A and B are shown apart, each in its own frame.
Chain A
Amino acid sequence: MTPSARPQSLRSPEPSRRVLLTTGSSDAHTWNLVHLQLFLEEHGHSVLNLGPCVPEQLLVDTARMTSPDLVVLSSVNGHGHQDGLRAARALRADHRTRSVPMVIGGLLGISPEGAADRTAELLDAGYDEVYEDGTPPTALLRRLAGLGGACTGRAAA
């Protein structure tokens, strides 16, 4: 029996994960990040949103300090491929962040041509998944639900 009755919540009882939300170092777009943060929080996850234009070092430092369950890089300015490669290399180069799961999605190139090559290159650089433009954000929930290991608790954000 629960002592209190809160109004209906959108929270899912899936384990709460801690997400580090970031974007490319040259990407100034905000709305995708605002939306993803709201969405993930509504589904019970805790989000640290680094905001637009995240330099690689800031990403690595933050990931080191907070040990997120998942790094999500969302980019829409067309440089996501190049920025994303740099972010992955930086994260993978540091032994403390080498194994943090990370995914990338959005509008990753300035045109649809070469998408398959970009995806392959990003996966190669260390992303666990590359979401093409138009993937619904529920894909992230599946990814979060599929993360192994115990829930690391909710802190950060």
Chain B
Amino acid sequence: MYRAGRGLTTSTPPPSPPPLAPGDLGAFVQESADAGELVVQPRMGMVGPEEMARGVAAVAALPERTVATLTIDSYTRVGDHAAATAAVRAGRPLNGFPLVSHGPRTGARVAAAAGRGTPVQVRHGSADPMAIFRTMAAAGLAASEGGPVSYCLPYGRTPLAESVAAWRDSVQFLTEESRAHGRRAHLESFGGCLLGQLCPPSLLVAVSVLECLFFVANGATSVSLSYAQQTHPAQDTGALTALRRLADEFLPPAVDRHIVLYTYMGVYPRTVPGARLLLRRSAELAVRGGAQRLIVKTETEAHRIPTVQENLTALRIAAEAARAARGTPGARPSGADAEETFAEARTLVTAVLTLSDDLGVALLKAFDRGLLDVPFCLHPDNRGAVRSTVAPDGRLQWTDLGGLPLLTTSRRTIPMTSRQLSGMLDRVAREHDRAAAARPAPDPAPRASPPPSAAPLRVAFAGMGPRGLSVLERLAARCAEEPPARPLEVFAVDPYEAGAGRIWRTDQSPWFLMNTPAQEVTMFSGPADDGPHRPGAGPTLGEWWAEEDPAGAEPEGYAPRAVYGRYLTYVMARIEETLPPWLTVHRVPARVICADRAREGDGPDAGAHRLRLDRGDVLTVDRLVLATGHPLTELDAEQRAWQRFAKEHSTPARPVKYVAGGSASEMPLAEIPAGASVGILGMGLTFYDILTELTLGRGGTFTEGEEGLLYLPSGKEPRILAGSRGGVPLLTRGANQKGPEHRYRARLFTPERMAALRAGGAPLDFERTVLPWLLAEVNLVLLATRIRHAHGPEAAEEFTERGVALLDGRSDPRPRLLERLAAGHRIDARPLTGLDALARPFAGRRFGSSAEYHKVLTEWLRADLAEARRGNADGPLKAAADVLRDVRQTIRTVVDFGGLTPDSHRWFLAEFGPVAAMVSTGPPQLRSEQFLALLAAGVLEPVGPGARFQADPVEGRFAVESAQVENSWVALDVVVDARVPGTDLAADRDPLIRGLMVDGEIRTFTNAAEGAGEFATGGLDCTDSPFHPVRADGSVDTSTHVIGIPSEHTRWFTQVGSGRPGPWGSFTRDADAIAAALLGGGAA
């Protein structure tokens, strides 16, 4: 009966078509198309006949060209007429019109409400539509949506073979029955929708064409081919073009056909403006792509089943948008999109048609063999081998072709996480909500009284990286909440891109990763809400990343630093786009080279800051925020000597090089030749950046081996020798088991206890007075976690309570006390006696050879990785190490602003700081795994503990040697200094800082105590919140604020480039305090 290929004929071609009945859907659409009008149609179904009839009548009464709809309820769809009837009798709500339960007489009465001219179509979703079609035929209804595939696979579990058989019989029945009564049946394929989302257009187009061929083969002479709006306008336009071309190629000429577009069928925008925008775009797409009918969605789609009124509104908006689109030439459809979809869809259609002369059989075979395969569809007859994604540009594409007969070379399988999936599913909704919110709209919220027309307060930010941005964000958020006394004018001075600054430049190597999981990073001082992203309400880095790049983002992992840079520039842009009228922001892409004050005689500007910029002009401002970030410091004597040495001994044949410390992205690492011996001084986070750039960055790859990662060299690597004091890399960070907003509440090392200590006896000796409590807290968590593993949470809780009670009243919380308490629990009750035990595992140990050291190091790092995998909540050691991160702010309250004696402060910075960093700032597991792989591959050769780098005049090169490893001496061509330069204002190369120092406007903080000597820290001396610098003469400059790294040493651990979601930490609190001070109010 059915023949494949071109020029096929139907079994019963009508020799001379009888006149069409009024309300014939196909004819109505053709007439409208001839008149240049898009037909619009709702989805609408109510349980009661009167209500349904009113809806139908209202749709028909619109001045637009409409088709009325009877959307059938879910019980009727699955053939559970008993349940539908029961619900009708009990007066319970249903999600549609139960046509079969009501019967043909009632159905006819409801349909008659459309009048003679408006067609009525039944939309139902049934894999076995016979009961519905019988009722339809008896009620005089002839138009239905559906299809053997599209009403089966996405809708449940009816076997495809049953659906094909049922649809064959049902279509034959409806067409014959209709013809017998002088009507023409119209069948619309739902193939252009399938699961509604994430299906690349070629499959939608192919299924739509195939189903219409199936309808025709079973007697239909009037069909419509569907396509649902997807994620990318040009791709969608191309798909509609492809659909039309294929319909013309494959459908017999005598068959009436048109294209029907569905407004987006996935997760719908939540806001009314967002929903309307998406609806209008679908109408424009229909016009551009040549569709003749549009099924609309309403603005309440995301929330509930719409009312009649909401449907009418949607129909009017769509019709208007379509008329407007006809008047204005849209963007030309991308020919490439149309070609790609056409070629793929045509391949799919022809592959199916060759399987059997019976299209029903061909469809079954096609799904069985995976020649057709719907991504993410759970139906048992769907193979489920294909995968698809939303590419960063918004187009849908295949990532795994499974058994589809398509050719591709460049696509690969990427496992998708639930987070990425929801990011993609929500993408269109999010974009439209946001785009609609960003559009100029009549100002809905009446503003508070406009600020007085006073001269604005001028504020310059020297540096607009994360710290400057954090202050600006709070400033803008506060201004949006409440108009300031004076308008504000902000100058964001940074030679690098505003927001990202120098360290987070967006053009750096993608191999450089952040050290904090993306979901724990935010620059907005509050979570995103339903409104547009704005100061005080915006996404975390993780959320933003997942939206930006659904396929590539790993919000629970560690983002490339360049990605964070892009996020920061986004935050900057959002601040600028949402400014209240009394706040202006100017970007000043320049560097401040010196600053002084306007003199008395300078009129109104007397006393103001005058900032000379490197581009030549002078900026006069009332307030200055110093947020200059990571310093560029002069080399010390040894570093200068090395630099000179390298210069003197370098020859073109054998270059010798010293690369000074700083940000790895600024190091000339590309100049290091393959095969050269490179010594890396320091094994902290910068070390990992350098290591990655010299291996992955040179084309090497890691692959999964039997025993962990394997490194496959590219051959372009140098030989990498790494050395540091401890001889081990940073301890691996425990797998994160805490939510982004998790905060640990200390039990022993409490802010209250530390405040009392400081109040009672500052300056303190950290090692004697503070560290024991910190260690007690660490041990409390360590032992409680072990107990939890052995005996459950209650035992652990009990231990914690008893431990706290035991130590609470003591002045010396010795670890042995906790050990004794834990000893009864049949666990390893040994506490840590100090952090050195973790951070300096090889102290005092000697190794007979480098090979021995490498073996021991490998075992040590593997053991550390195993601990890390147990997690930062469940792994005893990593949970304990995490305490150091969690109580960082409490440590600051003890240490900052001269809380320690000079000697203790010196010890704290030289000894405690590095050890705490070793234990608690480590890299993610992947980095440690890579370390092991590179070590095993011989690319990386750690030198050993106590590594000493030196210039060797005999060799004419550098050399490194470990004091604890025999025969470890190695000559080096290059030394890369991977130590982060400390803050030392005296050696700062920033001309602004230098000038301010010389003028006595700022000074370094010297910790001095009577009779206890002095410690010149090198950090900028400043007051507590809101952080005004202290001048050389001891006076305070209240028109300047300093935040972040310049104040390091005066304050501790300022190298934090991001806030955390949830309750504000010190990063956001400090920023807010400065913002409040700038606005003349108190800190929040």
> Is B706 part of the contact surface with A, judged by Cβ < 8 Å?
yes
Taking a contact as CB atoms under 8 Å apart, the answer to whether B709 and A5 are in contact is yes
> Is B87 part of the contact surface with A, judged by Cβ < 8 Å?
yes
Taking a contact as CB atoms under 8 Å apart, the answer to whether B707 and A3 are in contact is yes
Quick one: which of A7, A9, A39 has the most chain B CB within 10 A?
Answer: A7
Nearest-Cβ distance from residue A45 to partner chain B, whole angstroms: 12
> Is B184 part of the contact surface with A, judged by Cβ < 8 Å?
no
> Is A54 part of the contact surface with B, judged by Cβ < 8 Å?
yes
> Is B924 part of the contact surface with A, judged by Cβ < 8 Å?
yes
Taking a contact as CB atoms under 8 Å apart, the answer to whether B155 and A5 are in contact is no
Taking a contact as CB atoms under 8 Å apart, the answer to whether A51 and B866 are in contact is no
Nearest-Cβ distance from residue B638 to partner chain A, whole angstroms: 37
Interface residues contributed by chain A, number (CB under 8 Å)? 42
A-facing residues in B690-725 (Cβ within 8 Å): 704, 706-709
Name the A residues within 8 Å of B421 (CB-CB): 34-35, 38
Taking a contact as CB atoms under 8 Å apart, the answer to whether B869 and A31 are in contact is no
Of A64-72, A76-84, A93-101, A122-130, the one with at least 4 CB within 8 A of chain B = A76-84
Contact of A52 (CB < 8 Å), options: B155, B305, B859, B865: B155
Q: In chain A, what residue has the closest Cβ to B789?
A: A13
Taking a contact as CB atoms under 8 Å apart, the answer to whether B418 and A112 are in contact is no
Contact of B865 (CB < 8 Å), options: A2, A26, A34, A109: A2
Nearest-Cβ distance from residue A151 to partner chain B, whole angstroms: 14
* Assembly CA distance A25 to B169 (angstroms): 25
* Assembly CA distance A42 to B929 (angstroms): 21
> Is B95 part of the contact surface with A, judged by Cβ < 8 Å?
yes
Taking a contact as CB atoms under 8 Å apart, the answer to whether A26 and B77 are in contact is yes
Quick one: which of B155, B377, B556 has the most chain A CB within 10 A?
Answer: B155
Interface residues contributed by chain B, number (CB under 8 Å)? 57
Taking a contact as CB atoms under 8 Å apart, the answer to whether B93 and A26 are in contact is no
Taking a contact as CB atoms under 8 Å apart, the answer to whether B74 and A31 are in contact is no
> Is A156 part of the contact surface with B, judged by Cβ < 8 Å?
no
Name the A residues within 8 Å of B196 (CB-CB): 31
Quick one: which of A26, A38, A110 has the most chain B CB within 10 A?
Answer: A26
Name the A residues within 8 Å of B735 (CB-CB): 8-9
Nearest-Cβ distance from residue A42 to partner chain B, whole angstroms: 6
Taking a contact as CB atoms under 8 Å apart, the answer to whether B926 and A8 are in contact is yes
Known contacts A6-B708, A77-B95, A78-B305; A38 and B417 CB within 8 A of each other: yes
Contact of A5 (CB < 8 Å), options: B379, B737, B865: B865
Report A37-54 CB contacts with B as 1/0, cut-off 8 Å.
011001000000101111
* Assembly CA distance A8 to B513 (angstroms): 15
Name the A residues within 8 Å of B195 (CB-CB): 30-31
Contact of A110 (CB < 8 Å), options: B304, B862, B866: B304
Nearest-Cβ distance from residue A12 to partner chain B, whole angstroms: 6
Name the B residues within 8 Å of A5 (CB-CB): 707-709, 862, 865, 929, 932
Taking a contact as CB atoms under 8 Å apart, the answer to whether A7 and B156 are in contact is no
Name the B residues within 8 Å of A7 (CB-CB): 704, 709, 925-926, 929
Name the B residues within 8 Å of A58 (CB-CB): 157
Contact of A82 (CB < 8 Å), options: B77, B92, B376, B425: B92
* Assembly CA distance A31 to B423 (angstroms): 12
* Assembly CA distance A6 to B862 (angstroms): 11
Taking a contact as CB atoms under 8 Å apart, the answer to whether A38 and B416 are in contact is yes
Name the B residues within 8 Å of A1 (CB-CB): 859, 862-863, 866
> Is B197 part of the contact surface with A, judged by Cβ < 8 Å?
yes
> Is A157 part of the contact surface with B, judged by Cβ < 8 Å?
no
Name the A residues within 8 Å of B133 (CB-CB): none
Contact of A79 (CB < 8 Å), options: B74, B125, B422: B74
Name the A residues within 8 Å of B157 (CB-CB): 51-55, 58
Q: In chain A, what residue has the closest Cβ to B707?
A: A4
> Is A147 part of the contact surface with B, judged by Cβ < 8 Å?
no
* Assembly CA distance A82 to B82 (angstroms): 13
Known contacts A8-B925, A26-B78; A2 and B305 CB within 8 A of each other: no
Nearest-Cβ distance from residue A75 to partner chain B, whole angstroms: 10
Q: In chain B, what residue has the closest Cβ to A52?
A: B156
> Is B154 part of the contact surface with A, judged by Cβ < 8 Å?
yes
Name the A residues within 8 Å of B83 (CB-CB): 26, 82
> Is A33 part of the contact surface with B, judged by Cβ < 8 Å?
yes
Taking a contact as CB atoms under 8 Å apart, the answer to whether B304 and A28 are in contact is no
* Assembly CA distance A37 to B222 (angstroms): 41
Report B379-419 CB contacts with A as 1/0, cut-off 8 Å.
11000000000000000000000000000000000001110
Taking a contact as CB atoms under 8 Å apart, the answer to whether B378 and A6 are in contact is no
Quick one: which of B92, B418, B870 has the most chain A CB within 10 A?
Answer: B418
Taking a contact as CB atoms under 8 Å apart, the answer to whether A13 and B155 are in contact is no
Nearest-Cβ distance from residue B373 to partner chain A, whole angstroms: 15
Taking a contact as CB atoms under 8 Å apart, the answer to whether A12 and B154 are in contact is no
> Is B557 part of the contact surface with A, judged by Cβ < 8 Å?
yes
Nearest-Cβ distance from residue A119 to partner chain B, whole angstroms: 17
> Is A150 part of the contact surface with B, judged by Cβ < 8 Å?
no
Nearest-Cβ distance from residue B374 to partner chain A, whole angstroms: 10
Name the A residues within 8 Å of B925 (CB-CB): 7-8
Q: In chain B, what residue has the closest Cβ to A107?
A: B304
* Assembly CA distance A111 to B47 (angstroms): 14
Name the A residues within 8 Å of B267 (CB-CB): 31
Taking a contact as CB atoms under 8 Å apart, the answer to whether A111 and B304 are in contact is yes
> Is A10 part of the contact surface with B, judged by Cβ < 8 Å?
yes
Nearest-Cβ distance from residue A140 to partner chain B, whole angstroms: 12
Taking a contact as CB atoms under 8 Å apart, the answer to whether B869 and A51 are in contact is no
Taking a contact as CB atoms under 8 Å apart, the answer to whether A30 and B80 are in contact is no
Nearest-Cβ distance from residue B200 to partner chain A, whole angstroms: 16
> Is B219 part of the contact surface with A, judged by Cβ < 8 Å?
no
A-facing residues in B91-123 (Cβ within 8 Å): 92-95
* Assembly CA distance A30 to B265 (angstroms): 13
* Assembly CA distance A93 to B310 (angstroms): 42
Name the B residues within 8 Å of A137 (CB-CB): 418
Nearest-Cβ distance from residue A130 to partner chain B, whole angstroms: 18
Taking a contact as CB atoms under 8 Å apart, the answer to whether A77 and B926 are in contact is no
Name the B residues within 8 Å of A26 (CB-CB): 74-75, 77-78, 80, 83
Taking a contact as CB atoms under 8 Å apart, the answer to whether B75 and A4 are in contact is no
* Assembly CA distance A78 to B871 (angstroms): 40
Interface set of A (CB-CB < 8 Å, partner B): 1-10, 12-13, 25-28, 30-31, 33-36, 38-39, 42, 49, 51-55, 58, 77-79, 82, 109-112, 137-138
Interface set of B (CB-CB < 8 Å, partner A): 74-75, 77-78, 80, 83, 87, 92-95, 125, 154-157, 195-197, 267, 304-305, 376-380, 416-418, 421-422, 425, 556-557, 704, 706-709, 735, 737, 739, 859, 862-863, 865-866, 869-871, 874, 924-926, 929, 932
A-B contact pairs, 16 of them (CB 8 A): A2-B866, A4-B708, A7-B925, A8-B557, A8-B735, A10-B556, A25-B78, A28-B155, A28-B156, A30-B154, A34-B421, A52-B154, A52-B157, A52-B378, A53-B157, A78-B305
In the complex, besides A28-B125, A138-B739, 13 extra interface pairs with C-beta distance below 8 angstroms are A1-B863, A2-B865, A5-B862, A7-B709, A13-B737, A13-B870, A13-B871, A26-B75, A28-B77, A28-B154, A28-B156, A51-B378, A58-B157
Q: Which 8 A-B pairs have the closest CB atoms?
A: A5-B708, A53-B156, A51-B378, A26-B74, A39-B418, A38-B418, A28-B155, A78-B95
